[in-house]
Amino acid sequence: MDENFKALEFKNGELVLIDQRVLPTRFEYFICKNSKDVAFAISDMVVRGAPAIGGCAGYGVYLAALEAKGDRSLFLEKCQMIRSSRPTAVNLMWAVDRMMKKAESCGYEPSKLLEEADLIVEEDIAMNHKMAEIGSSVIRKNDVILTHCNTGALATCGWGTALGIIKKAHYDGKNIHVYADETRPRFQGARLTAWELVKAGIPSTLIPDSAAATLIRDGKIDLVILGADRITAEGDVANKLGTFALSVICKQYGVPFYSAAPTSTIDFNMKKGKDIPIEQRSKDEVIRPGGVLVAPEEIDVYNPSFDVTPHQNITGIITEKGIIRPPFDLNIERIKNGESI
């Protein structure tokens, strides 16, 4: 049951993106004709979600190689522009580095780079389906699941991570119900997850972020599943702002708390969550949601896009290689070494 939409698709030499800034009120495409357009689309969040921006970055590097016409320093400059278009989701750096490595090994042959970018997309979709299979073991019949932000087909190259697991449970007839946090300030839950849930016909309820604590305390939630933008070697997880607070409430009330992500989201070189660079976004996102002023313009604003959940608050991290459970550092090390967990 795959979707009839694609967050990203490379065709006729252009990267075609669903413009996630205007969903669900408008369904529009944004066309990237060059590497600069790709970097802009990532930083302005035309496309968002860690695996989706990784997929876009692959095509961005391919376009950069075409534009550089063999000028290596120009190519590196363009790769750096893409690499720095957002700081937190490591899939972006992972994809750029993979493409640059490929460029070195194939002598900057554009057709080989396009193949590699396509491969990143294909692998991501395959990893998502594998994760959905593996993750189905944590969802029982009639479970009520809470999720945060958007981790579906829109956030990935196809199918989704946490939302992919949830969709599979629904299609498997588990009679689940989903509570989706609206996810302030950009409303990825309200605008994007709700759109995907309705499209998939999954029984669901949209809630203000601050309603989650009461639902969890009152025993209305069986488990939480959400995504990740970067997972450290010790198992700390950076994800959309609000994730950390949810993890604390789940721990307090004994509700299982899962993060789901492909292993391309693991930053094996970073040990601790405190070292993850957290993107700070504009004041306007907070005081002018949807373009409507809701606060005095003079007010100071703090708007981190992500927060870090310590591994101590996490029940398990669902990946395409299995569910990573404590001790997270040892099990992540096993994944790094290609061992089974």
Determine which residue in the list 15, 49, 93, 135 makes contact with ligand MRU, applying CB under 6 A. 49
Q: In the bound complex, what is the minimum distance in angstroms from residue 149's beta carbon to ligand MRU? A: 4
| Greatest alpha-carbon span in the chain | 62
89 in helix, strand or coil?
coil
Q: In the bound complex, what is the minimum distance in angstroms from residue 154's beta carbon to ligand MRU? A: 9
Under the binding rule (CB under 6 A), the answer on residue 89 touching ligand MRU is: yes
CB of 150 within 8 A of CB of 163?
yes
Residue number of the CB atom closest to ligand MRU: 227
Site for ligand MRU in 91-110 (CB under 6 A): none
What is the pairing mode between strands 237-240 and 230-232? antiparallel
Under the binding rule (CB under 6 A), the answer on residue 32 touching ligand MRU is: no
| Non-local CB neighbours of 327 within 8 Å, separated by 6+ positions | none
CB of 301 within 8 A of CB of 204?
no
Q: Residue 302 gets which letter from DSSP? A: -
Determine which residue in the list 167, 170, 184, 240 makes contact with ligand MRU, applying CB under 6 A. 240
| Residue among 189 and 322 whose Cβ is closer to ligand MRU | 189
Q: Residue 290 gets which letter from DSSP? A: G
Under the binding rule (CB under 6 A), the answer on residue 50 touching ligand MRU is: yes
| Catalytic option among 37, 143, 209, 229 | 229
CB of 198 within 8 A of CB of 191?
no
Q: In the bound complex, what is the minimum distance in angstroms from residue 104's beta carbon to ligand MRU? A: 28
Q: In the bound complex, what is the minimum distance in angstroms from residue 217's beta carbon to ligand MRU? A: 23
Asked if 229 is an active-site residue, the reply is yes
Under the binding rule (CB under 6 A), the answer on residue 263 touching ligand MRU is: no
**How far, CA to CA in Å, does 20 sit from each of 114, 155, 159?**
24, 10, 16
The residue count of the chain comes to 341
What are the residues binding ligand MRU (CB under 6 A)?
A: 48-51, 89, 149, 151, 155-156, 161, 188, 226-229, 239-240, 305
Residues catalogued as catalytic: 229
